[in-house]
Amino acid sequence: MKLILPDGKPFEVEKGKSGREVARAISISLEKKALAYSLDGVLHDLDTVIPGEGQFALITEKSQEASDLLNHSTSHLLAQAVQHLYPKALFGFGPSIEYGFYYDIDFNEPISEEQFPKIEEEMLKLSHANLPIVRKDISRQEALVLFKDNPYKVELIKEILEPISIYTQGDFFDLCHGPHVPSTGFIKHFKLLSIAGAYWRGDSKNKQLVRIYGTSFFSDEALKKHLSDIEERKKRDHRKLGRELGLFMISDFGPGFPFWLPNGLILRKTLENFWYDIHTREGYVFVQTPIMLSKELWEVSGHWANYNDAMYTSKIDEKEFAIKPMNCPGGILIFKNELHSYKDLPIRMGELGLVHRHEASGALSGLFRVRAFTQDDAHIFCTKEQLNDEIERLLKLFDKVYSIFGLSYDIELSTRPEKKYIGDIAIWNQSEKILAEVCQKAGKKIKINPGDGAFYGPKLDFKIHDSMGRVWQCGTIQLDMNLPQRFDLTYVDQNNEKVRPIMLHRVVFGSIERFIGIITEHFGGAFPTWLAPVQIEILPVNNAIHGETAAKLKELFLDNGLRPQIDNSEEKLGYRLRNSQMMKIPYTLVIGDNEMKDGTVTYRLFGQKDQVTVKIEDFIALIKQDIKEKRLLKGE
């Protein structure tokens, strides 16, 4: 049997050999490092017999798949420890997630984070025991007997196809598809992080279980770094910074509906003005569509059938209406409002449109998950001949915007959903191929995300990386040949015939609200000067003596389009300097006798210790250049 190794070389093995035996044949040291193996991209346990020929790779600590493998295995270690300490506990799900794992458990008794050290101690004992983690395929009937005392597992067993797999380690067994690391001895560096409530299978009608979150790494250094990062993330939490910097609030009178405070509104409007400016230069026109439209429109668009659960509805004059969850149908109606020639295309139609979607109350989180948000939408109507150029143009726009914020990104191609989708599969396949080819031509690597496309078309999803290494879904480009057909959109071509346009849906920020949450944490609240709600803090040393000069300076800065404020409180200068730093204001100016006499200002940049004295006109030129270039701050 021939296996193709990662270096492209063939490797002959006998049939019936396991991944471990192949690893041993390659090298003894590799066998010790191996955690699992992949065949044609599918992961298998290390001791599983290799099912056939194909592309073969051993998974080690350095492999991309290793973290998920380790964290999933650690969730089972947690469950085994809990079973020892709480014999009456019943287990639900225990998957790996980004940066860790969780397990949903019905403890049948109160539990808190105070019990974590005891559970971790038991997990360490099981780790030191180095128990083999063994897979076994069994029948449905065998599984029902094994898990007869656990209604959660029984519910799952009745739904999944045979054969059903379980994993055992010592006296513990769990229903699981796997794969896992070879033994508990590989699980050494872990930490239980937090506890939360979670309804069984995410349904509020079901019992609420205890969800224990944790994380696991291959080295103590990596674990300590991650825990340090968590502490830094807590400091950067946009909900915390939102309160401290006066950006936004959420009221119990409107869960999921943000209120913008004075500083937050300045930040938001600045971001919107930037969006309008960069899109004007890209040839966009701007529209605004109604927030509520009739049920019939949403039926034509397909939202009523595919998105109804998330829509807010109401009756007007005995007719059913829905608050828009998306802006697309409104933009389509504007396109249909007049006859278009091929000479008009492409039409790039932008809208900062407020939409509403009903999110579960348990999912709401600051600005990251809200029920009312503004999408930075644009809908591009173009010919087939223009399509590739328009997508390439969008890729360049995304590059430009994200680089301004110091954000890198990856691209995923999300393909046709398995069930809820509209249109012919042939159109979907053609659309997916076009998106992939344009990215390839532009030199953009893409990862396939099967089944995650919008119900009306495939999309390119832009996953941005912030300063903490976290990944966020922001921008998207959706190729839509279906809605133009459903709405019977046409333009008149060179032959004076009506032709169907192609539609591109796209957002760069995703939503204004969520993007502000992301960049608040990305910058740690220390926004670049162009974006900062307050750009200059003016501190008169003595209000009675220097207050008038400070007031004149403020007026001068305002005349130059800057955003200054004066702290003329009676606090000591040192206190006011510290407060300006805590509010993360880019430039702090101290005005004393010398500044008043010489017509200078002494400024200090956020996060820096040095103070610099310059002429007033030089300072204005300096800060204007900072804003024009949209420089990123170099903080502490």
- Would you please indicate which residues are annotated as catalytic (active-site) residues? 328, 357, 375, 377, 379, 459, 505
The amino acid at residue 219 is S
DSSP 137: E
DSSP 214: E
Give residue 469's region: left, alpha or beta (phi > 0; psi -120 to 50).
left
For 534, how many CA atoms within 13 A lie in the half-sphere containing its CB? Answer: 23
Closest CA to 282 of 506, 466, 493: 506
Report the distance separating Cα 290 and Cα 283, nearest Å: 23
Q: Do 295 and 321 contact (CB within 8 A), yes or no?
A: yes
Report the distance separating Cα 356 and Cα 313, nearest Å: 10
For 524, how many CA atoms within 13 A lie in the half-sphere containing its CB? Answer: 19
Q: Convert 255-266 to b/e letters by CB count within 10 Å (16 or more is b).
A: ebebebbebbeb
Q: Do 170 and 183 contact (CB within 8 A), yes or no?
A: no
Q: Do 154 and 200 contact (CB within 8 A), yes or no?
A: no
Q: Do 373 and 354 contact (CB within 8 A), yes or no?
A: yes
Closest CA to 436 of 444, 425, 424: 444
Does a cis peptide bond (omega within 30 degrees of 0) precede residue 346? yes
How is residue 42 written in tokens?
Answer: 């599918």
How is residue 38 written in tokens?
Answer: 């992949």
DSSP 162: S
Tokens 């919008």 found at: 454
607 three-class SS: coil
Report the distance separating Cα 365 and Cα 370, nearest Å: 7
Residues in Cβ contact with 3 at an 8 Å cutoff, skipping those fewer than 6 apart: 10, 11, 12, 13, 22, 39, 50, 53, 54, 55, 56
Q: Do 144 and 137 contact (CB within 8 A), yes or no?
A: no
Report the distance separating Cα 266 and Cα 270, nearest Å: 6
Report the distance separating Cα 222 and Cα 219, nearest Å: 5
Report the distance separating Cα 190 and Cα 210, nearest Å: 19
Q: Do 175 and 157 contact (CB within 8 A), yes or no?
A: yes
Write out the H or E segment, with its range, that includes residue 474: strand 471-480
How is residue 478 written in tokens?
Answer: 């959706």
Report in angstroms the alpha-carbon separations of 315 from 292, 321, 372. 11, 6, 20
Closest CA to 512 of 269, 247, 324, 290: 269
Residues in Cβ contact with 49 at an 8 Å cutoff, skipping those fewer than 6 apart: 16, 17, 18
Report the distance separating Cα 74 and Cα 80, nearest Å: 10
What are the φ/ψ torsions at residue 99 (nearest 5 degrees)?
70, 20
